[in-house]
Amino acid sequence: MKIILGKNSGFCSGVKNTIAKAEEELKKDQNIDCLGEIIHNKQVVEDLEKRGLRTIESIDEAKNKILIRAHGTSKEVYEIAKNKNIEIIDLTCPKVLAIHKQVQEFSNNNYYIFLFGIKSHPETIGTFSFCSKNASIIEEKGDIEDAIKNLKKSNLKNVLIISQTTFSISLFDELCKIITETLDKTYNIHIQKSICNATNLRQLETEEISKEVELMIIIGGKNSSNTKKLYEIAIKNCKNAIYIQTIKDIDKEFIKQFESIGIIAGASTPSYIIEEVYEYCKNI
């Protein structure tokens, strides 16, 4: 059996940094609140919770110290924390912080922002809060019409197109094409490709491997946005793509039928889970 393990599988630099810093902080203080799950991986969340990290859903539940995860958070959370004297350990990924800064700068320079992203995703919600009221979130083609209506109502002629760091590369290009073809020449459109490098590499590698193998295994948390995108890419090219969280989700009899397997994992999947899956397939 041929097994191809994606070179870009597993933790990205932002997640690695978040986990390492959280572990460091928990050595000093075992009573820290984290706004939302620290990463979209159940095993890692449970491990850190045992060491004193409490996952909370809202800043209103925070006690003295709050950890902001790699996705970042909204402007309001910083303001509430400041007013309530809650200490912030800010582990927002630098790539997300750069987007917050850009949308603020462009908003201040009278740009209307088209933010491509999953509307319910914390990163998108956070980034959107740093835009002025002249901004729209576009998750899919169907959102473009309303976004353009709102742009026209604003009377602004400058447009910034930017996205969530883990947005799909192909959808980004598709949405940009529709927008640039729809808006007339009086609009000045600035396109900022803000999909991070880690996401780029994983999506490109998934595309490549999934065209070569009979079975594609995508590993990651069920609520991980970047892993979901990898699965969507894989299933387009390989009809036998499966999405698993750990080795426990593998059906041995199913796997046995294939001569070639590709394995890739999302940016929040720990390396030990990837290794377990790889070894398991190798030994079948």
In the complex, least distance from residue 16 CB atom to ligand SF4, rounded to whole angstroms: 9
Contacts of 16 (CB under 8 A, 6+ apart): none
User: For residues 3 and 264, which CB has a smaller minimum distance to ligand SF4 in the complex?
Assistant: 264
User: For residues 67 and 96, which CB has a smaller minimum distance to ligand SF4 in the complex?
Assistant: 96
In the complex, least distance from residue 42 CB atom to ligand SF4, rounded to whole angstroms: 18
**Token output for 68:** 């902001």
In the complex, least distance from residue 161 CB atom to ligand SF4, rounded to whole angstroms: 18
**Token output for 54:** 């409490």
Q: For the chain, how are helix, strand and coil distributed in percent, rounded to 5?
A: 50, 20, 35
Angle, helices 169-182 vs 197-210, to 10°: value is 110
User: For residues 99 and 281, which CB has a smaller minimum distance to ligand SF4 in the complex?
Assistant: 99
User: For residues 104 and 132, which CB has a smaller minimum distance to ligand SF4 in the complex?
Assistant: 104
Indicate the burial class of 201 (C-beta count within 10 angstroms; 0-12, 13-18, 19 or more).
middle
| Cross-sheet strand order for the sheet of 2-5 | 2-5, 260-265, 215-219, 242-244
Instruction: Specify the 3-state DSSP secondary structure of 265.
Output: strand
Residues near ligand SF4, by CB under 6 A: 12-15, 70, 93, 95-96, 165-166, 196, 198-199, 226, 267
Catalytic positions: 123
Output the residue with the shortest Cβ distance to ligand SF4: 14
In the complex, least distance from residue 102 CB atom to ligand SF4, rounded to whole angstroms: 14
